[in-house]
Structure 1
């Protein structure tokens, strides 16, 4: 299995004057990551909502309509960038209509240089996403194969549900990508600590990306972000004791890059001090589950 050099962004919310400035800024981050040897770059949840800062303040349903009408442009842009810079791009998440119906979803898109696209709709919606937007939750977890191994995408709130990461791990995922948007310290640390917990209990890598900074004018959908992007590992040999491979500088608009060594992950699973992924007792859990709900 090949090692993976991965870039993850702390994307800065700043005042922009045009859509061109937005796309140019994205391009610069992709180019920089590619030139530094990254094979994947991860952008945060709601990254295209930055475009709302160019418009008058909208209601949530108006914002959904505005963003959905840029879906074709969004897809074509990132397909072109992925091919041009020979880098896989998790292009954050984008609000668009679901394929099956007319409801809006918060969907992550992962673009590959050969034109392939993997997607994942957010499966657990926050109260704001359910009530104020409102959005529809996804209904299927996509665990997909890559040249580096199996991966899954758990968007922000999704990482707070251990069942999802466990299912992904049981289906062979060794890396979880977590694009997020948190606008407070409470939200950030919920997501951050859950990323690290999922890495520990499933003995895999978790990559976190987020929005940082703020806009000068309030936008009810996205106006400020608090995050510290990072790549996390199990808290066991051969990794660092704190389970941190790399993290960014809190609040800075920046990209951090790390090499993910899957051979070390296999070593951890085979010879680690503990083996929480293998020492599970499914029969015991099912027995206690039946007791609880009988």
Structure 2
């Protein structure tokens, strides 16, 4: 299974970002990718004040454009995330995932909202504007079940165990760590979740933009079930393409049967 991570900058307008995303999806398809993966908030500034301005319904322009791109290129598409507005006016940080026919396979609403205040570092409060999702997300593919989460969700191992219990072999994580948390925890968390659950971890981030109020750490990453980094970007715009040998999941689980050795009666 081949995956391409599209590490792109958020452009000045939503239209420009959508065009950049469509171009990245085309390049991923040209490279033979089965999955194209966009970053968290790929078409919206990562600012709480901007989320209501950019929010769309589930049948809004961004969703329709991503669906059409998946269908055009016959590729699975992890649509990063966008601010999604429901009929009651609640706003979610939502990732829409499309099949090769452009049909919606899954929708994950970020379950854990990014509310932090790090002394001398980053302050951010998603809950001031966003509503938290209420479910884990696993979806079927021709390669087997896959999981989907968003950014801050990666810090909660319980969510990953639920996805693995539902069969996930790979978990996709559109994310946008910053330069405070990224250098300390980005690689550590992706490798930890891969090793904990013996799965492939795939994280797509925006490229760094020095003019933005929130500067992404970038470093889109692909990690094996053994915890090895198969590919990792820097901060610049790029597309990472890597082939995942899914037989490694069963091999690692047989050699080091962590999931069989669990003691649920203790915890």
Asked if 1:90 corresponds to 2:85, the answer is no
Contact 1:82 1:88 in 2 (8 A): yes
Cα distance in structure 1, aligned partners of 2:69 and 2:41: 19
CA RMSD between the two structures:
2.1
Going by fraction, where is helix more abundant, 1 or 2? 1
Cα distance in structure 2, aligned partners of 1:25 and 1:204: 30
CA-to-partner distance for each residue in 1:196-254, whole Å, 9 max, x for gaps? 111101111110111122153x54xxx4211211111133xxxxxx5112212x11210
Alignment of 1:25-40 (within 5 A): 25-40=20-35
Cα distance in structure 1, aligned partners of 2:158 and 2:100: 31
3-state SS of 1:212 partner: coil
Aligned match for 1:176, one of 171, 180, 186: 171
Contact 1:79 1:113 in 2 (8 A): no
CA-to-partner distance for each residue in 1:125-169, whole Å, 9 max, x for gaps? 01134444x211001112111111111111111011010101110
Cα distance in structure 2, aligned partners of 1:144 and 1:20: 29
3-state SS of 1:49 partner: coil
Name 2:257's counterpart in structure 1: 275
3-state SS of 2:265 partner: helix
Structure 1 residue ranges without an equivalent (≥5): 53-58, 236-241, 286-294
- What TM-score do you get using the length of structure 1 for normalisation? 0.81
Name 2:64's counterpart in structure 1: 76
Aligned match for 1:22, one of 17, 21, 29: 17
What is the CA distance between 1:191 and its match in structure 2?
3.5
**Is the alpha carbon distance of 1:181 and 1:264 closer, same or farther for their aligned partners in structure 2, counting shifts above 3 Å?**
same
* Higher RCO by CA contacts (8 Å cutoff, separation 6 or greater): 1
- What TM-score do you get using the length of structure 2 for normalisation? 0.89
Structure 2 residue ranges without an equivalent (≥5): 116-123
3-state SS of 1:48 partner: coil
Name 1:56's counterpart in structure 2: none
The structure with the larger Rg is: 1
Contact 1:39 1:87 in 2 (8 A): yes
Name 2:137's counterpart in structure 1: 142
Contact 1:188 1:227 in 2 (8 A): no
3-state SS of 1:224 partner: coil
CA-to-partner distance for each residue in 1:16-72, whole Å, 9 max, x for gaps? 4x554322211211111100000111111111214x8xxxxxx845x2332124761
Cα distance in structure 2, aligned partners of 1:12 and 1:280: 42
